[in-house]
């Protein structure tokens, strides 16, 4: 085995340099420079290393092992309980993932129930956008409009139609969810989150001494609207007759409650609080990460230099959807097969991954040492990869800082075989949803929602940027995408409005 791990000397002693760059907002650039200088594997702190290519991803994430998370990250807890994402132990994580696999599988997400819920949310989004699409209309901030649509869609996936939100149509819900939106933002962007993330040992001591803030103990305020939604759904599912005759059986909360009722408490499914925590976490994860993928997609398409690309996307949508009577399920499959739509979304996520930070795993005593790029990594080390590094590799992506959807297209060229191989290499380095046993379980629903939203907007609208496009600040203050919308007549297909 080759040792030691390449890297500068300072990280052998402390993580302070990496933390400093993270807090300044250029942590991804700093890590990328380290990989450019030292290669695909680099030491970033005491007993910490980062991998920066597909081979490293395979060694860390894709082999049949279940590495642990390095720390509990109590900031992710709800109702005083951990959930799937915050679970440290790799084996326990797999046990908890089991009941949810069928909920988020391709077949389940492409079902009439889920696709109908997504289509309904997108229909209401387009209705709201239409109000801003006049010739003399002011520019509109798309973030709150998209967020409301995503909340409506994700509530169907997690809680079912009987408990689904109608934020876009119900003014009372819209007002109530403003409290939830602010709570969700502030709970993750505060001093405790920094301590929990960068100083987990100190965070654990403060937690045990009961000196941490309420959020560290998974506190969910009673006035949070999604708290009421989750508890109402849970109460309904406690009724056996409702579970057997009235409930959506392929929702996340149904699967968890049914398993809990039939098998009783276990380490994997210990309590009602765990069920509420896991459902709330998946609901917000689906909303926030999908929103953070859609906004840069629209931002790029709305730039003056990308108007031809916007038109190319529109032409692909119109050509593919000649049939005005596609149902939600058929529409989903049609959109999934569109190469330019896929390229536009994939390229936007490549440049702006919703989770750009490193995803860490700990080499546990249970698994024993692992080998990464031919180097032995002993137990107790943290290993990680970051989408922001993998997606900007100059060895993989030509001009990686440029937004170029065409890089993902493989047909229509004398060099098609070469392009196909290049696309395969790029996809092996695509890390927006993680990889391996802890890969984002909601990846299929995220792709489906993104396709429908972008197709619905650009099937019948034109977007252009306006002043104040982006207001970007640190520590979680939201940035805006301000665009002018213009209807372009009968281009929007009727199936978008089913």
CA angle (122, 125, 128) in 5-degree steps: 155
Going by C-beta distance under 8 Å and a sequence separation of 6 or more, which residues neighbour residue 135? 486
What architecture is the 77-353+432-497 domain classified under in CATH? Orthogonal Bundle (1.10)
SS3 content of the chain, % helix, strand, coil (to 5): 55, 10, 35
Convert the pLDDT of each residue in 363-406 to its tens digit. Answer: 998 889 999 999 999 999 999 999 999 999 999 999 999 999 99
Beta strand residue intervals within 287-403, DSSP E? 358-362, 370-372, 375-377, 382-386
Beta strand residue intervals within 181-318, DSSP E? none
What is the per-residue pLDDT for 475? 40
Which pLDDT band, with edges at 50, 70 and 90, does 1 fall under? very low
What is the per-residue pLDDT for 416? 76
* 440 is an annotated ligand-binding site residue: yes
Q: Above pLDDT 90, what percent of the chain?
A: 75
Convert the pLDDT of each residue in 270-319 to its tens digit. Answer: 999 999 999 999 999 999 999 999 999 999 999 999 999 999 999 999 99
Convert the pLDDT of each residue in 47-91 to its tens digit. Answer: 999 999 999 999 999 877 789 999 888 889 999 999 999 999 999
Q: Long-range contacts of range 186-194, CB-CB < 8 Å, 24 or more positions apart?
A: 186/476, 187/75, 187/215, 188/75, 188/476, 189/475, 189/476, 189/477, 190/215, 192/75, 192/216, 193/75, 194/23
pTM here is 0.93
Mean pLDDT of 19-31: 91
What is the per-residue pLDDT for 2? 52
**Among 67, 74, 54, 112, residue whose Cα is nearest residue 94:** 67
What is the per-residue pLDDT for 3? 56
What is the per-residue pLDDT for 417? 81
What is the per-residue pLDDT for 201? 85
323 pLDDT higher than 70: no
215 pLDDT higher than 90: no
Q: Bigger pLDDT: 229 or 201? A: 229
Which pLDDT band, with edges at 50, 70 and 90, does 4 fall under? confident
What is the per-residue pLDDT for 280? 98
What is the per-residue pLDDT for 64? 78
Tally of CB atoms within 10 A around 469: 16
Q: What is the mean pLDDT of the chain?
A: 91
What's the rounded Cα separation, in Å, for the pair 55 and 35? 14
What is the per-residue pLDDT for 324? 65
Which pLDDT band, with edges at 50, 70 and 90, does 326 fall under? confident
Where along the chain do its domains lie? Answer: 1-73+356-393, 77-353+432-497
Query: Which DSSP category does 78 fall into?
Result: B
What is the per-residue pLDDT for 136? 78
477 pLDDT higher than 60: no
Whole-angstrom Cα Rg for the chain: 23
Phi first, then psi, for residue 41 (nearest 5°) are -135, 130
Convert the pLDDT of each residue in 92-147 to its tens digit. Answer: 999 999 999 999 999 999 999 999 999 999 999 999 999 999 777 789 999 999 99
What is the per-residue pLDDT for 190? 86
What is the per-residue pLDDT for 413? 57
What is the per-residue pLDDT for 478? 62
What is the per-residue pLDDT for 369? 92
150 pLDDT higher than 90: yes
- Residue 180, token pair as written in the block: 């939830």
Going by C-beta distance under 8 Å and a sequence separation of 6 or more, which residues neighbour residue 138? 132
Mean pLDDT of 204-225: 89
Phi first, then psi, for residue 433 (nearest 5°) are -110, 15
Tally of CB atoms within 10 A around 81: 18
What is the per-residue pLDDT for 414? 55
67 close to 60: Cβ distance less than 8 angstroms: yes
């Amino acid at each position: 085995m080759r040792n030691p791990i390449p890297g500068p000397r300072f990280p052998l002693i402390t993580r302070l340099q990496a933390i400093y760059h993270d807090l300044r907002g250029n942590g991804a650039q700093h890590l990328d420079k380290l990989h450019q200088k030292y290669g695909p594997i680099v030491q970033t702190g005491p007993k910490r290393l980062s991998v920066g290519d597909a081979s490293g991803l395979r060694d860390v994430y894709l082999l049949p092992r279940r590495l642990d998370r390095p720390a509990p990250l109590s900031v992710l807890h709800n109702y005083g309980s951990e959930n799937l994402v915050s679970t440290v132990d790799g084996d326990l994580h797999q046990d908890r993932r089991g009941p949810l696999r069928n909920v988020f599988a391709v077949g389940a997400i492409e079902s009439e129930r889920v696709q109908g819920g997504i289509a309904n949310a997108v229909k209401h989004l387009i209705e709201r956008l239409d109000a801003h699409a006049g010739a003399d209309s002011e520019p509109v901030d798309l973030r709150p409009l998209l967020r409301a649509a995503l909340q409506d869609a994700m509530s169907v996936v997690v809680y079912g139609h009987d408990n689904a939100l109608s934020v876009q149509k119900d003014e009372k819900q819209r007002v109530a969810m403003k409290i939830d939106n602010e709570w969700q933002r502030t709970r993750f962007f505060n001093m405790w989150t920094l301590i929990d993330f960068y100083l987990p040992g100190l965070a654990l001591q403060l937690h045990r001494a009961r000196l941490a803030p309420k959020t560290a103990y998974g506190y969910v305020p009673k006035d949070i609207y999604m708290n009421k939604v989750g508890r109402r759904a849970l109460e309904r599912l406690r009724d056996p007759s409702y579970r057997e005759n009235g409930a959506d059986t392929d929702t996340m909360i149904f699967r968890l409650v049914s398993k809990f009722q039939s098998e009783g408490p276990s380490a994997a499914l210990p309590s009602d609080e765990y069920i509420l925590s896991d459902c709330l976490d998946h609901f917000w994860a689906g909303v926030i990460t999908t929103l953070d993928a859609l906004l840069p997609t629209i931002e790029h398409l709305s730039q003056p230099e990308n108007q031809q690309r916007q038109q190319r996307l529109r032409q692909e949508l119109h050509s593919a959807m000649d049939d005005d009577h596609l149902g939600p399920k058929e529409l989903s499959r049609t959109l999934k097969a569109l190469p330019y739509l896929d390229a536009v979304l994939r390229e936007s996520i490549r440049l702006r991954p919703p989770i750009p930070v490193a995803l860490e795993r700990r080499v546990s005593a249970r698994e024993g040492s692992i080998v990464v790029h031919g180097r032995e990594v002993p137990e107790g080390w943290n290993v990680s990869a970051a989408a922001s590094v993998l997606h900007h590799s100059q060895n993989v992506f030509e001009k990686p800082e440029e937004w170029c959807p065409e890089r993902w297209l493989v047909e229509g060229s004398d060099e098609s075989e070469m392009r196909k191989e290049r696309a395969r290499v790029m996809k092996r380095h695509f890390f927006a949803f993680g990889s391996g046993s802890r890969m984002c379980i909601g990846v299929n629903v995220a792709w489906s929602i993104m396709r429908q939203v972008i197709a619905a907007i650009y099937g019948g609208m034109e977007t252009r940027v306006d002043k104040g496009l982006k207001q970007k600040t640190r520590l979680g203050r939201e940035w805006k995408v301000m665009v002018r919308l213009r209807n372009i007549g009968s281009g929007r297909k009727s199936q978008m409005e089913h």
